[in-house]
Amino acid sequence: MDMSRPHPSLSRRRTLAAVTGLAAGALLPPAGAARAASAPAREPAPGAAATFTNPVIWQDFADIDVIRVGNTYYASASTMHYSPGAPVLRSYDLVNWEIAGHSVPVLDFGAKYDLNGARGYVRGIWASSLAYRPSNRTFYWLGQIDFARTHVYTATTVEGPWNRLTTISTPYYDAGLLVDSDDTLYVAYGNTTISVAQLSPDGSGQVRTQQVFTAPASVGTLEGSRFYKINGRYYIFLTRPANGQYVLQSSGGPFGPYTMRQVLLDLRGPIPGGGVPHQGGLVQTASGAWYYMAFVDAYPGGRMPVLAPVTWTPDGWPVVTLVNGAWGTSYPSPAVPAPPRQITPMTGVDTFDGTALNPRWEWNHNPDNSKWSAGNGLTLRTATVTNDLYWARNTLTHRIQGPTSTATVQLDHSAMRDGDRAGLALLRDSSAWIGLKRDGGATRVVMVTGLTMDGNWNTTGTGTEVASAPVSGGRIWLRAAADIRPGAARPGTFSFSTDGVTFTRLGPAFSMGNDWRFFMGYRFALFNHATQALGGAVRVTRFELSVP
């Protein structure tokens, strides 16, 4: 990936408001104002690490919007064609994160998100906003879809249920939502031409909108708005994709006038071979310390969140704390209270015991809910007759853990039917998989590569079988190992086992692509589709994501 090449306006990203006290977006001192930004930080909790290492999440969570509610931090991210969309992450220290839920339960924005006659690849949930409104103790998610309109969802807890509050006819591109100190809702949005909209008191409609800034030609594209109020001033945090961050400041109100200052440009990032940290949000801890959470382009894995402390100039401009002129690979850990509990790891074992999926899972487009079930394993019944995995519904995906990780699946394939294809893929616009082909009453384990798309996300290759072995019985273990460190090799390797202990390598290494234009990184993907007729099924009894 050419990290110096600007992303076009198609580059969706950035979310918005940070929260202090109980407000999202209105970044003011917490209740009592005793802990302003100049207040001393607390000592780290007993047992807390003295430093943290970037990336704080080595998984694909881009266009971060980060807020604080009390002593808990939340972040939202882009998911594009994956469903449910807009995951909400939770942390108690800004360093250790878990996935708590999704703000958009289903991509009900047209048939293409159901893989019904059209496809929604690289559409859907782009940079959007997460905010918390103390007056009604409600979380708000706001984002535009397909340049057509903006949707607002609300929930009283991030786990949900999330419900659509309204649809606004103005598409707020790369929106940042601000809950002002007087409870008014504002949205900053746009690409190069930045506007501010005021919403109705209940957030269901637009009261007014006004252009407030145009990026100078010397800077170029600015987008990815995050909207804040800090010490009585209004700030719009903006990204120059994919190598810069700028901030607008107004002391005259949310509609400006605004002046601009550069926050960073071509800053060396903390992931070797990765890009410049950019497109994220500001957040203040309860003790008054400020942090900037951005992402780094690090394909083939995606865009990885990184964290750095922020200080402020006397005249109110943010400054990222650097280490030897670069975004640090490590910093002192934020001083926060002891967490109330341990967060749920993003790696480990899932046996699909409950009827609902763990929020770590997202479907490739909306699933056909009549064709899958969980509880005593995950049952995937064939939902599509196709020879193209990119058209197959009910492909279930999991982010890859960097820098290297391995997914191992235990699969009961006794209910497969002739023509069925089931397995474990490394899924992106260039894909490969290991899995089972059942034809003529016989089952083989195969490694398939050459699944490809063009730049318009049309299928150009449905895959070529490059290795196979006969299998008997009804159970198999499939394994995919992925090295997502940016670099020349980027290998993915596949193996299988008939006893869960001894694994046999199958096929050559697959070189994962690192072009940025698909935006989302590679994922592990579980699939089962038919090539002849529906009716077959497989059951995933165990999934494990492990790291060395």
If asked whether residues 317 and 362 sit together in one domain, one would say no
3-state secondary structure of 25: strand
- 414: CATH: 2.60.120.200
Q: How confident is the model at residue 488 (pLDDT cuts 50, 70, 90)?
A: confident
If asked whether residues 272 and 135 sit together in one domain, one would say yes
Give the range among 15-19, 288-292, 431-435 with minimum mean pLDDT. 15-19
Would you state the pLDDT for residue 130?
98
Asked whether residue 2 is domain-assigned, the answer is no
Question: What number is the average pLDDT over the span 203-225?
Answer: 98
Question: What number is the average pLDDT over the span 395-417?
Answer: 98
> Does the pLDDT value for residue 30 go beyond 50?
no
In angstroms, rounded to a whole number, what is the distance separating the alpha carbons of residues 519 and 523?
A: 12
Backbone angles phi, psi at 24, to 5 degrees: -105, 125
Question: What number is the average pLDDT over the span 143-149?
Answer: 98
Q: What is the 3-state secondary structure (H, E, C) of 417-460?
A: CCCEEEEEEEECCEEEEEEEEEECCEEEEEEEEEEEECCCCCEE
In angstroms, rounded to a whole number, what is the distance separating the alpha carbons of residues 91 and 44?
A: 15
Residues pairing with 64 in the sheet:
none
pLDDT tens digits along 230-249: 999 999 999 999 999 999 99
If asked whether residues 317 and 395 sit together in one domain, one would say no
> Does the pLDDT value for residue 117 go beyond 70?
yes
Would you state the pLDDT for residue 281?
97
If asked whether residues 386 and 448 sit together in one domain, one would say yes
If asked whether residues 309 and 208 sit together in one domain, one would say yes
Provide the number of structural domains found in the chain. Answer: 2
If asked whether residues 258 and 406 sit together in one domain, one would say no
> Does the pLDDT value for residue 357 go beyond 60?
yes
Asked whether residue 5 is domain-assigned, the answer is no
Q: In what order do the strands lie in the sheet containing 129-133?
A: 129-133, 138-145, 149-155, 163-168
Would you state the pLDDT for residue 456?
97
Q: Which residue range forms the structural domain that includes residue 127?
A: 19-332
> Does the pLDDT value for residue 22 go beyond 50?
no
Question: What number is the average pLDDT over the span 145-154?
Answer: 98
pLDDT tens digits along 305-329: 999 999 999 999 999 999 999 999 9
If asked whether residues 359 and 286 sit together in one domain, one would say no
- 318: CATH: 2.115.10.20
**Strand-pair category, 26-27 with 223-230:** parallel
pLDDT tens digits along 61-97: 999 999 999 999 999 999 999 999 999 999 999 999 9
If asked whether residues 185 and 224 sit together in one domain, one would say yes
The mean pLDDT value of the chain amounts to 92
Q: How confident is the model at residue 32 (pLDDT cuts 50, 70, 90)?
A: very low
Asked whether residue 1 is domain-assigned, the answer is no
Is residue 236 within 8 Å of residue 258, measured between CB atoms? yes
If asked whether residues 166 and 271 sit together in one domain, one would say yes
Asked whether residue 369 is domain-assigned, the answer is yes
Asked whether residue 200 is domain-assigned, the answer is yes
If asked whether residues 395 and 423 sit together in one domain, one would say yes
pLDDT tens digits along 256-280: 999 999 999 999 999 999 999 999 9
**299, 332, 365: which is the final residue of a domain?**
332
Model's pTM, two decimal places?
0.92
> Does the pLDDT value for residue 46 go beyond 50?
no
Would you state the pLDDT for residue 12?
33
Dmax (CA) for the chain in angstroms is 76
Would you state the pLDDT for residue 11?
36
If asked whether residues 450 and 520 sit together in one domain, one would say yes
For residues 548 and 38, which has the higher predicted lDDT (pLDDT)?
548
**305, 332, 359: which is the final residue of a domain?**
332
If asked whether residues 426 and 280 sit together in one domain, one would say no
Would you state the pLDDT for residue 49?
53
Is residue 467 within 8 Å of residue 507, measured between CB atoms? yes
Asked whether residue 255 is domain-assigned, the answer is yes
Tokens of 197: 């909209």
Asked whether residue 337 is domain-assigned, the answer is no
**301, 332, 363: which is the final residue of a domain?**
332
